[in-house]
Amino acid sequence: MDSLTSDPDLWNNPEKAQKLVSERTRLADKIDSLRDLMKQIDDSYEMITLAESENEQELIAESEAQFIALDHIVEEALLQSLLSEEGDSNDAFLEIHAGAGGTESQDWADMLRRMYVRWAEKNGFSVALLEENIGEEAGIKSATLKISGQNAYGWLKYESGVHRLVRISPFDSNARRHTSFASVWVYPVVDESIQIDINPADCRIDVFRASGAGGQHINRTESAVRITHIPTGIVVQSQTGRSQFQNKDEAWQMLRSRLYEAELQKRREAQGALDLSKGDNGWGNQIRSYVLQPYQMVKDLRTGYETSDTSGVLDGDLNAFMRASLAGKNATESKEGKQ
């Protein structure tokens, strides 16, 4: 890495150079953090060894407390180290689609959109709305977000799947309990360093008038763009750009990212490390249940992690679920490695 960044011809390509320098800085920070952690562990070990040899109970207690604190830091570092798969460091596209159920599911899809926006804001990520399809009465039929920041895809990738909500419906005059479904699909944003070949003859491009709120240009011209990749059936669309050209460029990037994610998915499934499938947007395919009635509980059906803090989760407190998914992945891989 140092030899690459010291190349005198590096800045002939400023964009490539900036990415390389940023990557070097990121790796250097990780190495410095690891060295600092190892030094703290060594210092604590020496301190507790000395305290025990002199039977200093107060110092022993202090050293044990420091070891416990370091254990939490090591656990966090382990989770961070798991964000090292291909694509993990990239930004992410996050799609939300309402399931069957009309207004109920469309309102639930909108709640999920707010949840992920709040999660991103709380964790220092930036969010851009690329596409939305507004529901007839409430909520959204679909939306696509671009979430940008270090390891955005790595943290979000296990959110892919069907999310189930149980609540007293605000749209039911008889106040009955309803079950709603919405699907979430996450895929990494790819840059020019990742080669994804797409044959234009395999794609159908449609332009249409954008729906939903927007500036004066939106809804007046056919600036929204939808691209269908015929061999795979993948469909992407962008509508929030100021021009058809901008939306088309964004849609092509989304398609490249979707095809890249499809390839990553095949590799994971071949390794047996991940078994995620979009499946049908309904019963039997959900990855997480959000129960607001008759009790309060959010439970991940893959890891078993659960919490009664439903309002916190819906306000973006998702890190515990993401950590559980990463830790579960690590446990699975460790078990497979011992077999």
The DSSP result for 168-231, as a single string, is E-TT-TT--EEEEEEEEEEEE---TTS-----GGGEEEEEE---SS--SSTTTS--EEEEEETT
The continuous run of DSSP H or E covering 302 comes out as: none
In this predicted model, what pLDDT tens digit does every residue of 275-285 receive, in sequence order?
A: 444 445 555 56
Q: Residue 9 has what pLDDT?
A: 67
Three-state DSSP class for residue 17? helix
In this predicted model, what pLDDT tens digit does every residue of 130-175 receive, in sequence order?
A: 999 998 889 999 999 999 998 999 999 999 999 999 999 888 878 7
Q: Residue 303 has what pLDDT?
A: 93
Residue 111: which pLDDT band, with cuts at 50, 70 and 90?
very high
Nearest CA-CA partner of 37 in 8, 77, 7, 6: 77
Residue 19: which pLDDT band, with cuts at 50, 70 and 90?
low
User: Could you tell me which residue, 114 or 33, shows the higher pLDDT?
Assistant: 114
What's the token pair of residue 285? 């395919």
Q: For residue 7, what are the contacts with CB-CB under 8 A and spacing of at least 6? A: none
Say if CB 86 and CB 148 are below 8 A apart.
no
Q: Residue 17 has what pLDDT?
A: 73
Most confident of 7-11, 99-103, 151-155, 269-273: 151-155
Q: Is the per-residue pLDDT at 201 higher than 80? A: yes
User: What is the C-alpha separation between 312 and 296, in angstroms, rounded?
Assistant: 11
Task: Tell me which CATH code domain 92-331 carries.
Answer: 3.30.70.1660
Hey, where are the domains in the chain? 2-81, 92-331
Nearest CA-CA partner of 130 in 142, 119, 121: 142
Residue 292: which pLDDT band, with cuts at 50, 70 and 90?
very high
Q: Is the per-residue pLDDT at 217 higher than 50? A: no
Which residue type does 203 have? C
The pTM of the full predicted model, rounded to 2 decimals, is: 0.71
Q: Please count the helices (runs of H) and the strands (runs of E) in the chain.
A: 8, 11
User: What is the C-alpha separation between 237 and 204, in angstroms, rounded?
Assistant: 12
